[in-house]
Every structure is written in C-alpha cells, then in structure tokens.
Amino acid sequence: MIVLRGHRVTLRPHRPEEFDRVWTAVERWLPEEVAADRERMRERTRRRIAASGTWTEDGLDLAIEVEGRLVGTVQARRSVEALPPGVFELGLGLTDPADRGRGYGSEAMALLTRRLFQDEGAHRAQLSTDVGNAVMRRLAERLGFGFEGIMRGFMPSPGGPRDHALYGMTRTDFEDARDTWIRTS
C-alpha cells in the first residue's frame, strides 16, 4: 500500500467507511449526461475506494488526510488504452469547500507528482481543469506545470460542454521546478 507523507498532508488508501463521503463529493460534480448512469458510477467509485493505495490498470487513488481527517482525494490515471506508457493524468478533489485555499491540494499534488517522477517512471504528468477554475490553474502553474492550451468543448455540463485548460509537466520540467515547491517532507 502506498502512503506518502508531507508537511501537513498524508496521502493514504481510502478506508471503506469513507465511501459515502467520497461518493457525495463525486456525485456533486457528475454532469447530467453521466448522472443517468449514476448506479454504474457509484459502483465504479466503490471499486476505486476498495483498491485505493495500490496501482490498478486505471491508476492510483489516494485519500488526502489532514490532522486525522479526510479532506479529499488525489488520483494518477494511466489507462493503457488512453495514454502512452510513462504519461499520467492527475486529478484532485477536496470534499469540503471549507478546506479549499489552505494549501492541502497543492501539497497533495506535489507529493503525488514527486512520486510519479521519482518512483513510477513518469516522463510526463498532465492535468486539466475548467477554464474558470482560477485556483486550480494557479496551483498547476505554481508547481511548474506549463499551460499547453484550451481543450474546447471538453467537459459535459448542464449548460453544454465546457472548455478545459490543459497543463503538462515533463521530466525536465520536474527537475527544474521541484526545488521551488512547497515543503512536502
């Protein structure tokens, strides 16, 4: 089981009893087009929680814990059908809006990115976020992810497909940026 410890944040496997809290957060972000398939998504989330802390064919899911409580989740996706070997797609979600803006997401993303480049053979990590998500965009830039462009009409939403900003980091970018990151050890 993978556990990563930072200054304030610990990334660890989810516990089975955390499923309801994680599902509530996932469900909040489900687009209407996917909501019709809610039961399948619920079971998929249950399987991800059960396998968290270990690499699966889809990637790695970890809980973000601060002072003994769950504050969110972080993922490194590496689907062999969608991404070349050595490329990881990162995801981050904080479950309670009150925990946003405290640096937990930044520290979690830094810990996971460091693990990917140092221990998992990454040559590229990438993430995307809604173009209007200024907080996530700043987080990506602070960690050394370069803005690569806008994916137009990428994410389904009730108002129609939304544009997403794409950020990427190569191994060279990682080597250049890691010393400027927030303290994670």
Number of domains in the chain: 1
User: Quick check: is 143 in a domain?
Assistant: yes
Residue span of the structural domain in which 52 resides: 4-180
Give residue-wise pLDDT tens across range 145-168: 999 999 998 887 777 888 999 999
pLDDT at residue number 35: 59
Q: Assess whether pLDDT exceeds 90 at residue 137.
A: yes
Give the pLDDT band of residue 31 (cuts 50, 70, 90): low
**Integer Cα distance of 87 and 78 in angstroms:** 7
The reported pLDDT for the residue numbered 185 is: 41
Is residue 68 in a domain? yes
Does a structural domain hold residue 161? yes
**Is the residue at 185 inside a domain?**
no
**Does residue 182 register a pLDDT over 60?**
no
Question: Is 33 inside any structural domain?
Answer: yes
Q: Which pLDDT belongs to residue 43?
A: 87
Q: Is residue 124 part of a domain?
A: yes
Query: What's this model's pTM, rounded to 2 decimal places?
Result: 0.88
Residue 35 lies in a domain: yes
Mean pLDDT of the chain: 87
CATH number of the domain enclosing 83 = 3.40.630.30
Query: Is it the case that residue 71 has pLDDT exceeding 50?
Result: yes
